[in-house]
Amino acid sequence: MITSLSSWKRLEQLATEKKSDSILSYFRLDSLRLRKYTFRACDCYFDFSKNLLVDDVFSALLQFAKERNLADEIKRMFNGEAINTTEKRAVLHTALRSKKSTINVDGENVVPLVNAELEKVRVLSEKIRSGEWVGFSGKPITDIVNIGIGGSDLGPAMVTQALSAYSHPQLTMHFVSNVDGTHLWETLKKCNQETTLFIVASKTFTTQETITNALAAKRWILTATTDEHIAKHFLAVSTAIGKAKQFGITEDNIVGFWDWVGGRYSVWSSIGISIAISIGFEGFLQFLDGANVVDTHFEAAPFFENIPVIMGLIGMWYCTFLGYDSYAVLPYDQYLARFPAYLQQLDMESNGKSVTRTGENVTYKTGPIVWGEPGTNGQHAFYQLIHQGTRTIPVDFLVAKEGLSPYTDQHTILQANCIAQAEALLIGKNEETVREELKNNLNAELLIPHKVFEGNKPSTTIVYPKISPKTVGTLLALYEHKVFVQGILWDINSFDQWGVELGKQLASNVLPELQKSTSQRGTHDPSTTALISLLQRDDSGLKKEG
């Protein structure tokens, strides 16, 4: 158990000693603090200095990483060892953006395989972008609907939105994930059968939401044309080529990937084809490049200046030792509006685990709750709780040095808000200052406690040059490796997701009961039985489809 390591014990002791420390006093006591805890790497600037992190804690964290054999574990991942032990799989999303010529999985070099699928992505995306790909009536495609969920949606959807400034002017990208028919219906209202192309994106090609939506999409196309034209309106991206073919998608229109690419790590694979269609294949390559820069850094940089390692260590220090069980990611960048949602799957599906890699119950806190919204919207919603609530919620602020919009003055306002929020969280406002501010106010005594800011709230600020395919690739990969680091530190398997299975299994029991397609009543708890009775359909069909 990791709790018996000497560095663990040291960290426990430090947590007791340091939890009430003042970050501002760290600055006062150490004139080199800023220099020590800020880094330039991967074209970005990282300011960790506003964290509740000080030299002896940092050393103990680094020692912990050493005792957890993090260096070897990183090598094992990059070397394609089957580190996803419950599924006996390698974890090699890094191979999808690698510049190495040989990466072996079970003795097979996967680099040529990766390149071959990438070439298919190029050919297909260029055909669509150039207008050469036409629908059943001979018109070029105007609307792309990616049907997928989880990793087969969040990555492409988030990145496509993030890079919308680089998008093809004649192509509109849509993403349908929810099994709620409303999602598909509202999307299709904006599309025309003649010029719409669906991408069915599913690693397994068995996911209920995706298959249900894909079948409905097929019916929608068939309201305007006949079966022989289906191929002009469907692409598939999957590891299960056979199942995609069974669905009716022709082999030429199927792009593959491999089981050593986890769903939530698949945006770099052909799952990212919608990105290539939207921003062009060259842009997609730059996106991969941005991640490769991080991979190279992560593999080579010593831990004391290795950004994903530092991010992982700080996060673990907060979550496990100081008990801060959520953290907010606040991009001051409208293009990154979906980044927190993307990180929720990446982080929480990876590290929301309570047994070790060998199956023992953990006795410490693992994966944090991740949430966030773009600034400045969050400031007018939940920042109140971060500033004056009862919890400590560490924050990651993300901001671009340069904005893309022509409203450069607004970018400066945005940056000012970002910097000011980090400063406010750090310095707070004490009673004395508030008293001075209210010296002419008759209600001063009443107001003072409400206007005091405790401060000392930790944050990290990440500054990137500007939103570009490369930058977005870099940001994603940084968080991917942070999640990996934490999984190793906690001794959990970050690459399986058994926790999503039970709900799926029970839904398949409940569905026939709701549909009344079975007369057999399942055994449920009384609450579930009552809900099934309440929602049971009286008719077996659906409203007529539009």
* Catalytic positions, written as ranges: 349, 380, 504
Stretch that binds ligand F6P, among 58-66, 147-155, 288-296, 531-539 (CB under 6 A): 147-155
Instruction: Please report, to the nearest 10 degrees, the dihedral formed by the alpha carbons of residues 495, 144, 191, 131 taken in order.
Output: 180
Q: Confirm or reject binding of residue 151 to ligand F6P (CB under 6 A).
A: yes
CB-nearer residue toward ligand F6P: 14 or 149: 149
On whether the CB atoms of residues 198 and 217 are closer than 8 A, the answer is yes
Alpha-carbon Rg for the chain in angstroms = 25
Residue of 49, 94, 98, 152 that binds ligand F6P (CB under 6 A):
152
Give the integer Cα–Cα distance in Å for 24 and 21.
9
Q: Confirm or reject binding of residue 367 to ligand F6P (CB under 6 A).
A: no
- Sheet containing 172-176: which strands, arranged edge to edge? 172-176, 143-147, 196-201, 234-238, 254-256
Residue of 52, 149, 249, 472 that binds ligand F6P (CB under 6 A):
149
Q: Confirm or reject binding of residue 351 to ligand F6P (CB under 6 A).
A: no
Residue of 263, 315, 374, 394 that binds ligand F6P (CB under 6 A):
263
Q: What are phi and psi of 105, to 5 degrees?
A: -125, 120
Tokens coding 7: 């560095």
In a 10 Å sphere around its CB, with 0-12 CB exposed, 13-18 middle and 19+ buried, how is residue 442 labelled? exposed
Amino acid at 137: S
For 450-518, strand residue ranges (E) read 459-464
491 SS3 class = coil
216 C-beta neighbours (distance < 10 Å), count: 18
Q: Confirm or reject binding of residue 497 to ligand F6P (CB under 6 A).
A: yes
CB-nearer residue toward ligand F6P: 150 or 469: 150
Q: Confirm or reject binding of residue 350 to ligand F6P (CB under 6 A).
A: no
x-or-dash string of contact with ligand F6P, 194-233, rule CB under 6 A: --------xxx--x--x-----------------------
* Closest approach of ligand F6P to the CB of residue 208, in Å: 9
On whether the CB atoms of residues 60 and 9 are closer than 8 A, the answer is no
On whether the CB atoms of residues 331 and 398 are closer than 8 A, the answer is yes
Query: Prior bond to 376 cis, omega within 30?
Result: yes
* Closest approach of ligand F6P to the CB of residue 319, in Å: 22
Residue of 80, 150, 331, 374 that binds ligand F6P (CB under 6 A):
150
x-or-dash string of contact with ligand F6P, 310-339, rule CB under 6 A: ------------------------------
* Closest approach of ligand F6P to the CB of residue 257, in Å: 10
Q: Confirm or reject binding of residue 470 to ligand F6P (CB under 6 A).
A: no
CB-nearer residue toward ligand F6P: 180 or 445: 180
Which DSSP letter does residue 334 get?
Answer: G
CB-nearer residue toward ligand F6P: 7 or 239: 239
Stretch that binds ligand F6P, among 22-30, 114-122, 145-153, 386-394 (CB under 6 A): 145-153
Residues 6 or more apart from 146 whose CB is under 8 A from it? 153, 156, 157, 173, 174, 175, 176, 198, 199, 201, 274
Structure-token match 């299960």, residue found: 240
Q: Confirm or reject binding of residue 264 to ligand F6P (CB under 6 A).
A: yes
CB-nearer residue toward ligand F6P: 34 or 500: 500
Nearest one of 397, 452, 453, 398 to 425, comparing CA atoms: 453
Say how many residues touch ligand F6P, by CB under 6 A. Answer: 14
Stretch that binds ligand F6P, among 28-36, 146-154, 402-410, 534-542 (CB under 6 A): 146-154
Amino acid at 382: F
Q: Confirm or reject binding of residue 237 to ligand F6P (CB under 6 A).
A: no
Residues that bind ligand F6P (CB under 6 A): 149-152, 202-204, 207, 210, 263-264, 349, 497, 500
